[in-house]
């Protein structure tokens, strides 16, 4: 039969364990909240990177189409100029040269058109800008993924601490939670500071 002293010790131990479990439950709740933010922000960055990749691809396709048109028109203008040099009729020769000059002007406009912003020069700059933005979003996404993994492992360790009573697991969980927050911060403010993939 257990004495009153033993019952008191069991009650104190149960009270201490209950208080400790409440702290761990709070830690798990905070880790789960951070995980939710990390997952949401990561999915947003991933979606944005896909959208920017499509924009970059479309812009490069437009650039290639302009290049093909420019090359075709340049060849036609050069061929017409060469053919015009053999023509003896001055009116026909002047008309051919005028058409060749108009084509050369179009070739120049295809190279750079600051007014419409759809020359090859402008399209290249636009596509490269989209690629840079895409790469930034991908870097963010990868950092959020690392943060999410850290939060998930931390939740498992904190849960294991409740079962085993090993305090070291709670400290490891807290450390991984901090690591997850660090990677979230990197993703938000300096996505290119740490290269993951």
Q: Are 193 and 186 in contact (CB under 8 A)?
A: yes
**pLDDT value at position 21?**
86
Is 134 a domain residue? Answer: yes
pLDDT at 108 over 60: yes
pLDDT tens-digit series, residues 124-142:
999 999 999 999 999 999 9
3-state secondary structure of 64: helix
**pLDDT value at position 15?**
53
pLDDT tens-digit series, residues 87-99:
999 999 999 999 9
**pLDDT value at position 159?**
95
For the chain, helix, strand, coil in percent to 5 are: 85, 0, 15
pTM, to two decimals:
0.81
Is 13 a domain residue? Answer: no
Is 148 a domain residue? Answer: yes
Is 18 a domain residue? Answer: no
Question: In total, how many domains does the chain have?
Answer: 1
Q: Are 180 and 153 in contact (CB under 8 A)?
A: no
Is 6 a domain residue? Answer: no
pLDDT tens-digit series, residues 13-27:
545 555 678 999 999
CA distances to 34, 73, 138, 166 from 43, in Å: 14, 45, 10, 35
Is 76 a domain residue? Answer: yes
CB-based contacts of 106: which residues, under 8 Å, 6+ apart?
A: 73
- Compute the average pLDDT of residues 67-79: 96
Q: Where in the sequence is the domain holding 88, given as residue range(s)?
A: 32-189
**pLDDT value at position 8?**
55
Among 150, 157, 155, which Cα is nearest to 178's? 150
For residue 89, give the DSSP letter: -
| Tokens coding 179 | 């690591």
Q: Are 49 and 141 in contact (CB under 8 A)?
A: yes
Is 137 a domain residue? Answer: yes
- Compute the average pLDDT of residues 61-90: 95
Is 167 a domain residue? Answer: yes
């Amino acid at each position: 039969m257990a004495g009153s002293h033993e019952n008191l010790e069991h009650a104190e131990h149960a009270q201490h364990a209950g208080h400790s479990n409440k702290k761990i439950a709070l830690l798990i709740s905070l880790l789960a909240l951070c995980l939710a933010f990390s997952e949401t922000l990561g999915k947003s960055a991933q979606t944005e990177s896909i959208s920017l990749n499509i924009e970059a691809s479309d812009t490069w396709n437009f650039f290639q189409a302009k290049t093909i048109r420019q090359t075709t028109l340049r060849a036609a203008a050069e061929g017409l100029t060469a053919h015009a040099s053999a023509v003896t009729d001055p009116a026909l020769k002047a008309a051919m040269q005028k058409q060749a000059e108009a084509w050369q002007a179009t070739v120049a406009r295809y190279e750079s058109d600051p007014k419409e912003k759809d020359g090859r020069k402008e399209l290249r700059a636009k596509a490269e800008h989209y690629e840079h933005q895409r790469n930034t979003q991908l870097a963010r996404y990868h950092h959020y993924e690392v943060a999410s993994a850290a939060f998930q492992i931390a939740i498992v360790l904190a849960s294991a601490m409740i079962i085993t009573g090993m305090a070291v697991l709670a400290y490891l969980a807290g450390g991984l939670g901090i690591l997850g927050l660090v990677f979230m911060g990197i993703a938000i403010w300096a996505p290119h500071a740490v290269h993951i993939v």
